[in-house]
């Protein structure tokens, strides 16, 4: 699969251009000492919007991590979107993680839901149901249901999702972005074989969160 936005996410280009332009202008007018804080801000923005290509594991029943970060929840819960028993695996992204979101499975987007909400810290359990969030119901090729939810965080002010109902997603395909700290919840069938534990560091597409039943 060709990677459409090499190295930096398309959502970040206005911020990257803006911060670099301001730093360069201050540098030109006052010198590098006064411009140093502005260059540091520009470097932070560059690292935040980095979006490297990833190699997709070939294991067909694998559920891939939809985000970079750390596992903050692995628990049996009721999927609040599909109203079914499930296992929720949550990945928390801090401001130094890559924030591009990728599809955990191959499948068709059967429905989507957007909920305006609060902006409490995304590593708290209640953030899953109280914060601003965007959920996708993905029906896998072998008929299983996966719910993938982008959740805004304490300073995240924009959830971006580039797919809609009826679209097909391939494992590892880029589908969205959350600006400045957040989490992604994945609701899996209860008989899935979980491959991660709370506290594990994971990487979008590269890390296998679980294996689905055949």
Burial of 59 (0-12, 13-18, 19+ CB in 10 A): exposed
Q: Count of residues for the chain? A: 214
The H-assigned helical ranges of the chain are: 13-30, 32-48, 127-130
| Tokens linked to 203 | 């990487």
Name the active-site residue from 65, 128, 182, 192: 182
Annotation marks residue 103 as catalytic:
no
CA 208 to CA 168: how far, in whole Å? Answer: 20
CA 32 to CA 42: how far, in whole Å? Answer: 14
CA 16 to CA 96: how far, in whole Å? Answer: 15
H or E stretch covering 114: strand 107-115
Q: Which residues are catalytic?
A: 182
């Amino acid at each position: 699969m060709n990677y459409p936005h090499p190295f930096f996410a398309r959502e970040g280009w206005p911020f990257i251009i803006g911060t670099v332009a301001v730093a360069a202008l201050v540098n030109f007018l006052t010198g590098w000492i006064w411009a140093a804080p502005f260059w540091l801000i520009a470097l932070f923005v560059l690292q935040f919007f980095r979006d490297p290509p990833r190699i997709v594991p070939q294991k067909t029943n694998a559920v891939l991590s939809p985000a970079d970060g750390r596992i903050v929840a692995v628990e049996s819960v009721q999927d609040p979107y599909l109203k079914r028993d499930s296992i929720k695996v949550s990945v928390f992204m801090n401001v130094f993680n890559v924030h591009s979101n990728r599809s955990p499975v191959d499948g068709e987007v059967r429905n989507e839901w957007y909920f305006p909400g609060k902006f409490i810290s995304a590593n708290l359990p209640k953030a899953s149901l109280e914060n601003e969030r965007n959920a996708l119901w993905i029906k896998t090729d072998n008929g299983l249901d996966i719910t993938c939810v982008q959740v805004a965080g304490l300073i995240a002010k924009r959830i971006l999702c580039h797919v809609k109902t009826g679209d097909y997603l391939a494992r590892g395909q880029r589908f969205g972005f959350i600006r400045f700290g957040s989490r992604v919840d994945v609701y899996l069938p209860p008989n899935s074989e979980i491959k991660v534990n709370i506290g594990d560091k994971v990487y979008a597409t590269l890390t296998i969160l679980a294996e689905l039943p055949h």
